[in-house]
Amino acid sequence: MRQIVVQDFLLDARGGLRPRTEKDGQPKGALRIVSPYDREARRAIRGNTRWSGYLVHVTETCETGESQANLITDIATTRPTRDAEALPGIHTRLSDRRLLHRQHLLDGGYLSVSLLHRSLRDHQVEVVGPVKTSGA
C-alpha cells in the first residue's frame, strides 16, 4: 500500500492524504513505480539511453597476453542506482568466492575518493580508473 500512496497521493501540510494533481508532478524516479508487474523496477538513464528496469554489473578477468581468455567472475543485477553503490557488494561477493584480485580496473561511474579508501581498507584492493572531480 505504501508504494501506491507514493505514486498516487501526497501528504498535505496537516499530514493527511490527498490525491496528486498534475501540478504536483510525479514522484522522483527512485520512488516511482514503472511497472504494475514488478514494483522494484525503476527508470534509468545512462547518457542518451533511457529505460525502465534494472542495471547489470559484470566483472571479468583482465589478463595480459592474447592467449588468455577473459572470464566473467561476477554478475549483479540491481535497481537503477549510482554505479558506485554497487562496488562494495561486488567486492564482498568476489572476496567471499576468493576471486578478488589485488587490483580492480573500473570505469569512472564506479569510483569516488571514498571508495578508493574503502576498497583498500575493507578488501585490500587497489581500484584503478578515472575519479570524478568535485562538481563534475
Looking at the domain assignment, is residue 15 inside a domain? no
Looking at the domain assignment, is residue 29 inside a domain? no
pLDDT digits (tens, 9 = 90+) for 53-78: 888 888 888 877 666 767 888 888 88
Please give the residue range of the domain that contains residue 82.
Answer: 53-128
Q: How many helices (H) and strands (E) does the chain have?
A: 3, 8
pLDDT digits (tens, 9 = 90+) for 89-131: 999 999 999 999 899 998 888 888 888 899 999 999 999 988 8
Looking at the domain assignment, is residue 100 inside a domain? yes
Looking at the domain assignment, is residue 102 inside a domain? yes
Domains of the chain: total = 1
* Cα 34 to Cα 41: distance, rounded to the nearest angstrom: 6
Looking at the domain assignment, is residue 84 inside a domain? yes
Looking at the domain assignment, is residue 92 inside a domain? yes
Looking at the domain assignment, is residue 94 inside a domain? yes
Q: Quick check: pTM over 0.85? A: no
Looking at the domain assignment, is residue 43 inside a domain? no
